[in-house]
Amino acid sequence: MKGINNMRLVDAEKIVIERYPEADVIYSLARKKAKWSTIEKVTEVAIFLFTPFVNGLEQANGISDLGIYYLVEQNERQLLVRVAKFDKENALEEKDITGEFIGKEYVVGKDKFEKLRDIKKEEII
């Protein structure tokens, strides 16, 4: 199973690099839930205490959206890019967030995105 996820990640990176060849920087992003309600916090503690699962709600949140996210910085613009599918059309969704992603984290709605690494620097030729 891990091999499938790694292959999917490599494919997503290739798709984004090919789509944005002129990008100054392309960061892979981790998506997490930004705010937890009191009920969710109590549920998380109960899951931790009574099951072998650690971060059960965070894992469930990750499964709820299987897209892979990137921050593309190009020509003084910032684009939040989501690779949604791995088919012939390579479904990409993008949102212009210029000036909003400052530092290592960005929060939009219920999601918090955190920069992981610059995939453009690690591009495999």
Maximum CA pair distance of the chain? 51
Task: Please provide the size of the chain in residues.
Answer: 125
| pTM (2 d.p.) | 0.73
Q: Which residues pair with 95 in a beta bridge?
A: 80
Average pLDDT for 12-25:
92
Q: How confident is the model at residue 95 (pLDDT cuts 50, 70, 90)?
A: very high
- For 45-70, write each residue's pLDDT tens digit: 676 667 766 665 565 554 556 788 99
